[in-house]
Structure 1
Amino acid sequence: MKKQPTIAQIGSSILRSKAQPVKNIIDRNISELIDSLITTAIANQGVGIAAPQISQSYRLFIVASHPSDRYPQAPTMKPTAMINPKILSHGEAIVKDWEGCLSVPGIRGLVPRYRQIEVEYTTQSGEVKQKVLTDFIARIFQHELDHLNGILFIDQIKNKADLYTEAEYRQIINSGT
């Protein structure tokens, strides 16, 4: 069995660099990277993970929403590889909601994101897809797309009062406030 990749942590230069487009989608290395991203996300209860988070500079991420300790209200979505993703358009509504990141352990924040986005990405089989994403799935997509551009969720928080420790976050969500 392959060793689980190490998740790059805040301070690592790859997390602040713009990732390179995937040129050959059917390359075996890309397929192995996708498998590695999926297993890493699942093993760490992540709802998404981007290639730069395991030190691979490719415009590729996984969206794998599911309810967990970290996101109890998350909808269930089969892990989906999104290659060379982009936002085509977005709605006007911006919603603040909780985010965390496997690369920024111990911190949570209320991050403003578009509630609805229209996206385009290429699947692992080479098919170009366009979809409208809303709410939590749209949030994951925007969070992971930021990773491909060297942006962390903490960069999106304008009011530092919206930053919390993991313990504070859990206390808030467990109390229902």
Structure 2
Amino acid sequence: MRPSQHMRDLGVVQYGAPGLGEPARPFTLPDEWQSADTAVGQLLDAMERIRRAHDFSGKGLGVAAPQIGISRSAAVIQPPGADPIVLLNARITATSEEMDEKFEGCLSFFDVRGLVPRPLKITVETTTPEGQAVTTVYEHGLARLVHHEIDHLNGMLYTARMRAGVAPIPVEEYRQTGRPWTYEQ
């Protein structure tokens, strides 16, 4: 079975499906806190199914609501060795000029990996279920994970960020599975 078929069987919407390439609708918070809570619960359930089937302990795991068929602005990131991060109505407000390029995978087309340039540091604004704006700075691998999921909320796949002329490679050719990204301190 192809990796993408396995993800489809776990409930992950696959490349080409309607909604995956469209911006997700933000929540009006606090009015829609129950809808946001339900979406987050569904994301956590999906994440648990995916983690039972595949080891993401090296780099972490993220799932955005559009990837499970919910066109709302919610995502959950599971960093390596840390508690999940919930992103509601997330938007990037600042990025560092310093960038790097690392291979990324995506649950919505899990048969390939792509070399994606991303900023080493991002500032993200989210909304709490109570309607408060919260700003958080993410760096290195966590910045990469969060940026990838926010792209999903904006209807963008990582292939749109790859350099011109660079194509994804088949997962069988990718040799860094399970290893964390490395960064100079």
Code of the residue aligned with 1:119 in structure 2: it is: V
Q: Which residue in 1 is equivalent to 2:33?
A: 27
Amino acid at match of 2:23: K
In structure 2, distance between residues paired with 1:86 and 1:112: 18
Deviates more, 1:120-129 or 1:95-104: 120-129
2:82 counterpart SS class: coil
Work out which of the residue numbers 74, 81, 90 in structure 2 matches 1:85. 90
Superposition deviation, residue 15 in structure 1: 0.6
Which residue number corresponds to residue 61 of structure 1? 75
Report the count of equivalent residues.
162
**Alignment match, 2:110:** 105
**Greater relative contact order (Cα 8 A, min sep 6): structure 1 or 2?**
2
**Do residues 18 (structure 1) and 23 (structure 2) align?**
yes
For structure 1, which runs of at least 5 residues remain unmatched after alignment?
67-75
Identity over aligned residues, as a percent? 29
Look up the match of 2:64: 50
Residue 33 of structure 2 contacts residue 129 of structure 2 at CA under 8 Å; is this kept in 1?
no
Q: Which runs of 5+ in 2 are unaligned?
A: 1-8, 180-185
TM-score of the two chains, using structure 1 as the length reference? 0.82
Decide whether the 8 Å contact of 1:48 with 1:64 is kept in 2. yes
Aligned partners of 1:139 and 1:105: how far apart in 2? 17
CA offset at residue 122 of structure 1? 1.7
Q: Is the 8 A contact 1:49 1:63 kept in 2?
A: yes
| 1:41 alignment counterpart | 47
Match of 2:123 among 118, 135, 139: 118
